[in-house]
Structure 1
Amino acid sequence: MEEYDQFATQYASGTEDLEQKTRSHFYSELPPLKGKIILDVGCGSGHDGAYYASQGAVVYGMDVSEQEIAMAQQRACGVFVKASMESIPYEADMFDIVTSLYAIQHTEDVPQSILEMIRVVKPGGLIAILAKHPFRNLLESYVNDGVSDYYAKRKVTSYIFNRAIKLIENGHTMMDYLAPSVLRSASLELFEERTDFPASDQVIAGLTYPTYMILKYRKII
């Protein structure tokens, strides 16, 4: 995901303009944030952190892109650090809520990343994730790379902003998000499939399919 350093400013401005409806829906799934300590994993330029702070939350954010972190720090709305979601640099049971929007699909190890989010949230705390749907990955792999194996978990070519930006992302399956190791540590409260993924290009014109999903986990006490 360090590739985002190459176009961090363009990505930040583009997603803020295009994804307002998507983000508003995600925010509606969160509890009242006033007084909550919240970690945003894959925080990007800090757009979501700024919203959380405006709602009265104490905000922490992390991202692997140095440029995105620099932009987030300029917002002066929380503590933002460069770090990998596969090894979150915070103590166990520290946060009331952990969120991640449009980020976890970039990791090579989804279950490990979710387990790290579970580790740092308090018992009974919420983990809310918005992620690219594996079915979209499959279509992109087929159309852009000529590979039609859902289980391959290979690198997938993806385009956003009318093909202005090319991404190479990790392919995942639904089982990565529903792994037994994850569900032993947290209960799944919400699984929602959505069709609007506004920053990305339509893979096959006229085909309706889930482009992203929202999952909410609750850490088992």
Structure 2
Amino acid sequence: MKGAEWYQADDVAEEYDDKRFSRGGQLIDEREREAVLRALAPLEGKKVLEVACGTGRFTAMLAEAGADIIGVDISAAMLQQGRQRARELGVEDHLQFMRGDAARLPFPDDHFDAVFGMRFFHLADTPASFLGEMARVSNSQVFFDTFKRGSTRSIYNWLLPMGSRLYSDEEVSRLLSGAGLSLAGSEHDFVAPYGFYRQVPNALAKPVRRLDKAVGETPLGRPLASVSYWNATVSE
């Protein structure tokens, strides 16, 4: 996976959320939480796996909402941040964090009701194998996001330290088919790329976000969107 050593560093884990979800990045956090909650609802008693859970912002949120959830990540430093978050929210008894490789998930087939991964596939060097593993351990649902090829993110993607894998709709369709998944629904958002929102104060980001949403509701919304959320079901 791209940037594996960087991602596992202690200092990166400690600063990860602050760098990405402060300032205008708060709007990204809100949108991603909304996408996950809407896709996975209802959550009470649902058996869920988060792949590449990082600092546990979704894992803890879903535990609060009543899910029986496990978060898996390759970074011990990130998992430590997740455990601390769970303690602070008082949900440490309702979730489990495990260190593991997303390409070889340590669970039997059909073990979870839903499996999801956010901010993961843009770093995947072999996305087909990762998605195949997610599908293997799910008995019903797989949810994930991708950054879109040809979007505004393409303009600055080459400047990023690790770069990002960008996906066309056609490539995602092939990946779903190869993993034995059927597309149940998708959402496409953020004409202005994440990098912009993280660089500006929240007060400035909010009116841009309103404009972003307005463009997203037009026929131009999908082709210009930089982020896609994919909700798939395990084929019979």
- AA paired with 1:192? E
Larger fraction in helix: 2
Q: What do you get for the CA RMSD once the two structures are aligned?
A: 2.8
How far the C-alpha of 1:40 sits from its partner, in A, is: 0.5
TM-score by length of 2: 0.72
* Change in CA separation of 1:91 and 1:12 when aligned onto 2, cut-off 3 Å: same
User: CA 1:81–1:176 in structure 2 vs 1: closer, same or farther (change >3 Å)?
Assistant: farther
Q: Report the 3-state secondary structure (helix = DSSP H, G, I; strand = E; otherwise coil) of the residue aligned with 1:72.
A: helix
Q: In 1, are the aligned partners of 2:50 and 2:117 still within 8 Å (CA)? A: yes
Greater fraction strand: 1
Residue identity in the other structure for 1:22: R
Partner of 1:34: 44
Q: 1:104 to 1:144 in 2, by over 3 A?
A: closer
Query: How many residues are aligned here?
Result: 197
Contact 1:110 1:176 in 2 (8 A): no
The match for 1:9 is: 14
Moved more, 6-15 or 210-219: 6-15
Q: Please name the residue that 2:119 is paired with.
A: 102
Structure 1: which 4+ aligned runs deviate by more than 4 Å?
Answer: 196-199
Contact 2:147 2:165 in 1 (8 A): no
Alignment of 1:72-151 (within 5 A): 72-74=82-84, 75=86, 76=92, 77-122=94-139, 125-136=140-151, 139-140=154-155, 143=156, 145=158
Equivalent position SS for 1:81: strand
Residue 225 of structure 2 corresponds to residue 210 of structure 1: yes
Change (3 A) 1:119 1:46: same
**1:40-60 CA-partner distances (Å, limit 9, x unpaired):** 111110010011101111111
Identify unmatched segments of 5+ residues in structure 2. 87-91, 198-211, 216-223
Distance in 2 of aligned mates of 1:129 and 1:197: 20
Q: CA separation of 1:184/1:114 partners in 2, compared to 1, >3 Å: closer, same or farther?
A: closer
Residues 1:184 and 1:199: Cα distance change in structure 2 (over 3 Å): closer
Of 52-61 and 187-196, more deviation after overlay is shown by 187-196
Secondary structure (helix, strand or coil) at the match of 1:167 reads coil
Contact in 2 for aligned 1:132/1:212 (Cα 8 Å):
yes
Q: 1:20 to 1:184 in 2, by over 3 A?
A: closer
Provide the residue aligned with 1:65 in structure 2: 75
Q: Normalization by structure 1: what TM-score? A: 0.76
SS in 1 for 2:177: helix
Against the structure 1 CA distance between its residues 201 and 82, is the aligned structure 2 distance closer, same or farther, given a 3 Å change threshold?
farther
Of residues 167, 185, 189, the one that matches 2:184 is 189
Pick from 20, 28, 33 the counterpart of residue 24 of structure 1.
33
Percent of residue pairs identical: 18
Once the two structures are overlaid, the 10-residue window that deviates more, 104-113 or 12-21, is 12-21
Deviation at 1:174, TM superposition (A): 3.8
Tell me what 1:149 maps to: none
Higher relative contact order (CA 8 A, sep 6+): 2
